[in-house]
Amino acid sequence: MIIVSGTFRMDPERIEDWRCHASAMLAATRAEPGCRVYSYAHDAEDPGLIRVYEEWENRETLAAHFKTQHMKVWREALEELGAYARNLRAYETDEGEPA
């Protein structure tokens, strides 16, 4: 399994504009083969911080995700909205165990 986790930042005054694009991206990505979890979280204490968390079956399904049309549209929207300080990492892991 591949876990993608990280953050990006944007002007807090653009968050509502971002939400429209995020909803479309979430729906399209969650329908992709190999996507287990795909989520964004607007940080409660830092209004310009967006947290990202994803789970993918394998590297191949993640690589296919990067080539989708909705990913192209998403990247263009983030650029237009002025998103910055993108810091995402992919980790290969097993299924884990209950904590």
Query: What are residue 56's DSSP bridge partners?
Result: 2, 35
> Which pair of tokens denotes residue 28?
């399209």
pLDDT computed for residue 90 by the predictor: 98
- Which residues in 67-82 are b (16+ Cβ under 10 Å) and which e? eeebbeebeebbeeee
Indicate the average pLDDT of the chain. Answer: 96
CATH 3.30.70.100 fits 2-92, yes or no: yes
Better-predicted residue by pLDDT, 96 or 53: 53
Delimit the domains of the chain by residue range: 2-92
- Residue 62 pLDDT grade (very low, low, confident, very high; cuts 50, 70, 90): very high
pTM of the predicted model over 0.85: yes
SS3 of 38, please? strand
| Region label for 6, one of left (φ > 0), alpha (ψ between -120 and 50) or beta (otherwise) | left
pLDDT computed for residue 94 by the predictor: 92
Residue range 15-56, pLDDT digits in tens = 999 999 999 999 999 999 999 999 999 999 999 999 999 999
